[in-house]
Amino acid sequence: MTKNEFDYKDYIRARFFPHIWCPGCGHGIVLSTLLRAVHELGLDKNEIVMTSGIGCSSRISGYVDFHSLHTIHGRALAFATGVKLSKPKLKAIVPMGDGDALAIGGNHFIHAARRNIDITAIVMNNKIYGMTGGQFSPLSGQGKKATTAPYTTIDNDFDVVELAKAAGATFVARSTVYHANEAKDVLKKGIDHKGFSVVEILTQCPTYYGRKNKEGNAAQMMEVFKTNTVKIGSKKLEKNPGLIQRGIFVQDTEKLEYCEAYDKTIETAMKGKA
Amino acid sequence: MKQQNNIRFVQGNEACVEGAVYAGLDFFAGYPITPSTEIAEHLAQRLPEKGKKFIQMEDEIASMAAIIGASLTGNKVMTATSGPGFSLKQEALGYACMAEIPCVIANVQRGGPSTGNPTHVSQGDVNQARWGTHGDHSIIALTASNHQDVFKITVEAFNLAETYRTPVILLLDEVVGHMREKLVIPEPGELPVVGRLRTSVPKDVDYHPYLPREDGRLPMSDFGEQHRYNVTGLFHDMWGFPSNNPKVVNALLTHLVDKIENNVNDIAMYKEYWMEDAEYILISYGSSARSAIHMARNRRARGFKIGVLELQTIWPFPTEIVREKCADAKAVLVVEMNMGQVVTQVRNAVYNPNKVFLANRIDGQLISPTDIKTVLRMIQGRGV
Ligand code: SF4
C-alpha cells in the first residue's frame, strides 16, 4: 500500500474531459476502480502503457495519464504485444469492450493467452455494442433484444472465463461494477501477475442493453449484478446453478512468461554465435 | 578475409534482411506468406543473435499492429508480406499514417487479385501501396531490380520512415525476392543511417507530440519515458487527443499529405541508363527493369538511341522528374508486369500522353527483352 491518499486527479488527463460516456454507464466505475488498483500497487505512471481498441470502453485509454494507445477495432492486444515484447519492463493494460475483445478481436485474444505474454486484458462486458448504437455482441447470449436482433438473438454467447482458461491464460478472474472493491482487488492481482491475465468485469449499458431488454436504469441493472452473481463455489449455486460465479478462477505462476521465454531464445542465439 | 565476409551469394529477400539489419532493425513481426517468407525466416535467425526481437504473430493484421506498438517504444520496426497479406494490413497501415509511426513494410509482390499466383512474378500492388487504405494521405513506396539496390533501398526505407514519421513500403517482386546474385555488404558508416528524432523537451514541460517543428519534423518520445501522451487513429490535436474540430482536421490531413508531397525531390530515387541522347525511353522498375536494361543495351549496340529510366521511388510519384526526362523523347515505353499502373502516372506526367505506351505481361512470367522489343518495333512502325 502507498502512503498517499488516492486522488483520481493524479491519474486523469483533465484536459481531455468531459468524457463521452452516457450518464449511468458502468465504464466510469471500471475507470475509477482501475485507477485505485494502480494507485494501491504504487505503480509509476511512466511504467504503464494502456492500449485499447474501438468502442465506448476503449476511450478509457485517452482519459488516463499513462502512455496511451487508442488503436483500431479488435486489435488492441496485438498492438500491446508489440509494446510489451519490445520493452518488457512496461506494464501493459488493455481495456476492451466485449465485441472488441471477442468478436473482431477473438483471434488475438486466444493467441495472447496461448503465448502467456504479460498483459492484463480487461473485458468490460456490457453484452452490447454501445458506440454503434446497440447491436448484439458475442456475449449477449440468446433471447436478447438488440438493434440487429429485433426478434431477439439466436447466437450463443461465449463464457469469457472458460474461453480464457482453454486458451491458456495464466490468470483468469471475473467481477462486476457493483462489486467495485472486489473488482479492484482482482485487478491488482491481475496487473501484478506475470503472464497473460484476463479480468472480466460485468458492467452496464443502460442506454442500449438496459433500455432494449427492459432492465431498468443503471442502479437497477447493477442490482442484477448483485443478485445474479456469487463468489466462486458459493453454497447458493447448489440451489441455483444458473448464478454467475465471481472471483479468481486461475492463478498459475508455473508457466513461463513469453518475454522471459524470448530472453532465453536470445541467450541461446547469442551462445550459438560465440 | 574481411572482404570475403562482406560478399554473399543470396536471394533478394536475404538482401532485404541484410539491409534491414544494417539500418538497425530492432523488432520484426510477421506471418508467413509466399514469396516473402524468407525475410521472416532469416530474421528469426538474425535478430536474437543481436539481442533483438522477432515474433511470428497469429495473422497479418496482428503483425502490422505489433510493429506499430514496438515502434512507439522507440524501436526500428519492420514486417514483410505479399499481396493478400498486404491487403489485410491496410487498416493498420492507415493507422500508422494517421498516427505518424515510423515503420517499414516489405511487400514481395505476387499475382492477384485474391490468392492469385503465389509463386510467380507480378507488379500488381503499385496501386494497392498507394490507395489500399481509406481516406487521403500520402505514402512512400520504394523498389529495386537487383540485390545491391535492394540492400540500399531497404536502408533508405528505414531512413525515410524515421525522417518523415511514416510507413514506408518496399515493393519488391517475386523474381527479385527469389533470384540469387552477389551482394556486397557495405562497411558500417558507408551508407547513412538515420536515427529517430527524439524530443528535447524536458520533463514536466508540456510536450506536444503532434506539433510539427518549423522544418515539419515531429520529435518523438518513447513509450516508457517521461512524456506520457495519447496516440490515436482519430483526427487529433497537438496533444494527440481526438478532435473533430474542422480546423484541426483540415490542418492534420494537409500536414500528412504535404510532409511527403512537398519533399518529392528529396525522396525520389531513380537510375538512368543511356539517357543523354535517347530518342526512345523505357521506364521500368523492379525485375522488369532488368529486361528493359538488357534490351536497351542490345539495341544501343545496333545504333538505336534507347535510354532507360529505372524508378526506385514509385510513391510519391516523381512526376516532375519524369516530365523533364521525357520532354524530348519520340516515345516513352513503360515496362511493367500489371495492366498499366505506373503507365497511368507517366501519362499524367508527360506533356504529350499520346506518346506513352505500355509493354506488359500479366501471366506470371517475367517480361523478356524480346517482349519489349516487339512492342517498341510496333511503336517505331517497323513491324514485328
Ligand atoms: S452507449 Fe452504453 S456503453 Fe456506450 S457510453 Fe453509453 S451507456 Fe456506456
Q: Is residue A80 part of a domain?
A: yes
How far out from the chain centre does Cα A58 lie? 10
Give the minimum alpha-carbon distance from B118 to chain A in angstroms, rounded to a whole number: 25
**pLDDT, tens digit, for every residue of B213-254?**
888 889 999 999 999 999 999 999 999 999 999 999 999 999
B-chain residue closest to A15, CA distance: B241
Structural domain boundaries in chain B: 7-184, 269-381
Q: Is residue A3 part of a domain?
A: no
Spatial CA neighbour of B63 closest among A70, A99, A263, A107: A107
**Long-range contacts of the stretch B39-48 (C-beta < 8 A, 24+):** B39/B13, B39/B80, B39/B106, B39/B108, B40/B80, B42/B13, B42/B14, B42/B17, B43/B17, B43/B78, B45/A269, B46/B17, B46/B21, B48/A262, B48/A265, B48/A266, B48/A268, B48/A269, B48/A270
Question: CATH 2.60.40.10: does it fit domain B7-184?
Answer: no
Residue B227 has a pLDDT of 97
Which residue range(s) make up the domain with A192?
8-273
The class (CATH top level) of B269-381 is alpha beta
**pLDDT, tens digit, for every residue of B107-166?**
999 999 999 999 999 999 999 999 999 999 999 999 999 999 999 999 999 999 999 999
Give the minimum alpha-carbon distance from A223 to chain B in angstroms, rounded to a whole number: 34
**pLDDT, tens digit, for every residue of B336-380?**
999 999 999 999 999 999 999 999 999 999 999 999 999 999 998
Q: Is residue A1 part of a domain?
A: no
Q: Is residue A2 part of a domain?
A: no
Residue B1 has a pLDDT of 45
- A30 Cα to the center of ligand 1, angstroms: 13
- Band the pLDDT of B4: cuts 50, 70, 90: low
Mean pLDDT of B24-42: 98
Rounded to two decimals, the pTM is: 0.97
The domain that holds A115 is classified in CATH as 3.40.50.970
Residue A273 has a pLDDT of 56
Do residue B224 and residue A67 have CB atoms under 8 angstroms apart? yes
With a cut of 80, say whether residue B168 has pLDDT above it: yes
Residue B214 has a pLDDT of 84
**pLDDT, tens digit, for every residue of B55-95?**
999 999 999 999 999 999 999 999 999 999 999 999 999 99
**pLDDT, tens digit, for every residue of B174-220?**
999 999 999 999 999 999 999 999 999 999 899 999 998 888 889 99
**Hey, is the C-beta of B135 within 8 angstroms of any chain A C-beta?**
no
Cβ within 8 Å of B, A 127-166: none
Burial letters B48-62, b for 16+ CB under 10 A, else e: bbeebbbbebbbbbb
- Band the pLDDT of B383: cuts 50, 70, 90: confident
Percent share of chain B, pLDDT over 70: 99
Q: Is residue A181 part of a domain?
A: yes
| Among the partner residues A61, A65, A85, nearest to B70 by beta-carbon distance | A85
Give the count of domains, chain A.
1
Do residue B228 and residue A272 have CB atoms under 8 angstroms apart? no
Query: Which of the residues A54, A67, A89, A109 would you substitute to probe the B interface, choosing the one with the greatest number of B C-beta atoms within 10 Å?
Result: A67
pLDDT averages per 10-residue partition of chain A, 274 residues: 80 92 97 98 97 96 97 98 98 97 98 98 97 97 97 97 98 98 98 98 97 95 97 96 97 98 97 69
| Beta-strand relationship, A229-231 and A67-70 | unpaired
Name the closest-CA residue to atom 5, ligand 1.
Answer: A21
